[in-house]
Structures are given as C-alpha cells and as structure tokens.
C-alpha cells in the first residue's frame, strides 16, 4: 500500500526527519522511516542536546572522551559526528540510487560562529572532512556572514543547508549567494553534479509572532489571516524560487548553471511542527506540498502526517491570495522583513543556549 509519505514523494516533495539520536537508530525506527519514504535527516544543537542529555547510547563514548582529556566542544563534536556518519550510511543507498537527489543528512556548525564568515568556512571544511561522507550537508545560519560563508563553501564543493531563514528577503539573498558560489565551483572545473543545497525557511514561529499582531488589529481582514501568514510567505518564496531557478534564463539568475548541469538550490520548509493547538497538527505539511521542495518534519508531526495527513499538490494553490496576504500585512503596519530579522536573532539565541547546554552536559 502506498503510504502518505510515498504519495508526497510522488508529487515531487521530499520529507526529511528533523530528529536524530542513537536510540532512534539502534531501535530500528530510523530504518522504518526510511522504508516508509523519509528521504533525509536534519539535526541542530537542540536535537543533539536532547539526545545526548537523555543518555541513551552515549555513556560509554562520553566516558572515553572525558578520560582522553579533550575539551567539551571536541567531545560533543565526536559524538555528533559519529551519529551523523551512521545516519549518512543508513541513507547511502538512497543517495546513490537517486543520483544525489536524496539521502542527505545535515550537521550544523557552532552557533557561536553565526557572525564569523571565516570561522564558519573553517568549521565547515573541518566537519566535512571529519564526517567524510558524500551525502553530508553542512548547516549554516543565513546571517550576512553565513551567506558569505555559503558562497565560499559552495565554491569549494562543500554542500550546505542554509538555516534560520524567516523572510522572503533572506530566502532571496540566500539563493543569490549560493548561485555565486556554484558559479565559482563550475568555473574552477568542479563537477556540477556534486553540488546540492537547501534553503531552510522556518514557518510556525512566524505565525506565532504575527497572529497576536493580527489579534491586536482586530479587523475582519486581519483576523482572517491568522495562521495563514507563514504559509503565504512560503508560497511567495516558492514563486521567487521559480523566478530565479526555473523561469529565469540569464546569468544573473540560474540559466547558465542549469545548462552546465547544476541542480537548483531547493527550498526546505522547517519549523513545521504546529505550535498553536487551535491549528491542524499537519498544517505546515499539508499546505505546502510541491515539486522540488523539501519539508523537514519533527517526528511527532511526521507520525501525524503519516496517519491523517493529505498528500495533494497545494504549494501553488491560489498564489495570488498569498501575494495579497503579504500586501495586507504591510497595510496593517506589520513588517515581515523586520520580524524575520528578529526571529533569526531569537533562533540563534535558542541554538546558542542549546549548544551551551550540550557542552555543560558533556
């Protein structure tokens, strides 16, 4: 029987699992998810903090690392790298059979480096070499420094998941930074087929901030947009993605790289676990299914989608309404770009706190 996950895959969208732990792998649950249609895995400092602090499967390695005398950050990286290597191996056959379109695993650089382009590049190079798997994505926050690092890392053939994107402006700047790096990679003789990248656009946190502003406005037009703004933003991001990578055909966008055989950077929907209990628990999955996209989903949301989600091509449903929603927000005095910048700062703080907790744990 075709599962909901497999039906979504048939519509062109890859579902990734936003979780990783040794218990997940040793229990066989990760293998079951892959068999059901999961195409990749994302991690972040909060995910590893939860996994390592839980202790399942980490005690012996952690004892050995403490006895070795290496510092806390090196201990954490050793544990995380081992997990990511095992996950990459679990997805290796999918990576190979898809020709590199699927089977990716993300590992994030230290959030302390979010405003340090050179430090991020060094960390990306070091982590890539340590993991030593072709289906690894290095995760970098889409700050101005992070976008500089994206260009340089891509020019070196390092594949990147750009994370913590909270606005249309950040998504467009990320796409342009990646294309610049891809152009340098190809011009330097790099294999175009090796390049792969995703741009992770965060959703539920956007509605968490905007909904109270709509409530405060109180008009019927404002209240009608509650729970719809993040989806509208994602739909508009996808239209701009099509403009840059599919409909565009000049060097300022992607036409030259497409002809050279480079895959477009994919949009990835992140923060797709519903935070408002009044909304459907599969809201940010059901509403954004479309070709050549990725949705990375927390395990609870993935279970819900597998159980009662709907696999239909929804991403380009009524895009004019999505554009109109963003115009309406501006008329209400709600600045999506400014909100995106603040949410990115808040996201970095949350990852820094999780990272500090990891280091304290190890």
Instruction: Look up 139 and say whether it is catalytic.
Output: yes
The rounded radius of gyration (Å) of the Cα atoms in the chain is: 20
Closest alpha carbon to 81 in 98, 103, 100, 65: 65
- Angle (CA) 165-38-76 rounded to 5° is 60
Q: Is 334 helix (H, G, I), strand (E, B) or coil?
A: coil
Integer Cα distance of 327 and 77 in angstroms? 44
Integer Cα distance of 100 and 193 in angstroms? 8
Q: Where are the alpha helices (DSSP H) in the chain?
A: 4-10, 22-26, 29-36, 45-54, 59-68, 72-90, 92-97, 117-131, 144-155, 168-187, 204-217, 220-223, 229-241, 255-260, 283-286, 299-308, 319-331, 336-361
Query: Do the Cβ atoms of 190 and 158 come closer than 8 Å?
Result: no
Q: Is 284 helix (H, G, I), strand (E, B) or coil?
A: helix
Query: Do the Cβ atoms of 222 and 214 come closer than 8 Å?
Result: yes
- Joined together, the tokens standing for residue 1 give 């029987």
Q: Are strands 197-202 and 160-165 parallel, antiparallel or unpaired?
A: parallel
Q: How many CB atoms lie within 10 A of CB 72?
A: 15
Q: Is 99 helix (H, G, I), strand (E, B) or coil?
A: coil
Query: Which residue among the candidates 50, 139, 176, 345 is catalytic per the annotation?
Result: 139
The DSSP 8-state label assigned to residue 189 in this structure reads T
Query: Tokens 């029987």 identify what position?
Result: 1
Query: Do the Cβ atoms of 266 and 290 come closer than 8 Å?
Result: no
The partner residues of 106 in beta bridges, in order of sequence, read: 137
Query: Tokens 């565009």 identify what position?
Result: 248
Residues with catalytic function: 139
């Amino acid at each position: 029987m075709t599962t909901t996950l497999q039906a979504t895959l048939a519509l062109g969208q890859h579902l990734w699992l936003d979780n990783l732990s040794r218990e997940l792998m040793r229990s066989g649950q990760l293998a079951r998810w892959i068999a059901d249609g999961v195409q990749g895995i994302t991690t972040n400092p909060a995910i590893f903090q939860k996994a390592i602090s839980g202790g399942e499967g980490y005690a012996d390695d952690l004892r050995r690392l403490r006895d070795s005398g290496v510092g806390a950050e090196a201990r954490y990286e050793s544990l995380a790298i081992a997990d990511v290597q095992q996950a990459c191996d679990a997805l290796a056959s999918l990576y190979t059979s898809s020709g590199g379109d699927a089977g990716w695993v993300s590992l994030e650089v230290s959030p302390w480096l979010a405003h340090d382009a050179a430090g991020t590049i060094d960390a990306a190079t070091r982590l890539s070499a340590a993991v030593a798997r072709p289906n690894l994505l290095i995760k970098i926050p889409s700050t101005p420094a992070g976008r500089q690092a994206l260009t340089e890392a891509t020019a070196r053939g390092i594949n990147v998941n750009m994370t913590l994107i909270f606005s249309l402006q950040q998504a467009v700047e990320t796409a342009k930074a990646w294309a610049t790096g891809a152009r340098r990679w190809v011009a330097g003789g790099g294999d175009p087929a090796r390049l792969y990248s995703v741009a992770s656009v965060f959703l539920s946190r956007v509605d968490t901030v905007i909904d109270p502003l709509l409530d405060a406005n109180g008009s019927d037009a404002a209240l009608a947009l509650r729970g719809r703004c993040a989806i509208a933003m994602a739909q508009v991001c996808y239209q701009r993605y099509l403009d840059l990578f599919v409909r565009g055909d000049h060097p300022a966008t992607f036409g030259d790289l497409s002809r050279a055989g480079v895959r477009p950077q994919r949009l990835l929907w992140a923060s797709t676990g519903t935070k408002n209990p009044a909304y459907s628990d599969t809201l940010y999955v059901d509403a954004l299914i479309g070709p050549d996209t990725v949705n990375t989903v927390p395990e609870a949301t993935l279970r819900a989608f597998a159980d009662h989600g709907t696999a239909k091509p929804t991403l380009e449903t009524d895009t004019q309404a999505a554009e109109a929603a963003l115009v309406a927000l501006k008329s209400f005095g709600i600045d999506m770009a400014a909100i995106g910048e603040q949410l990115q700062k808040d996201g970095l703080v949350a990852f820094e706190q999780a990272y500090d907790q990891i280091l304290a744990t190890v």
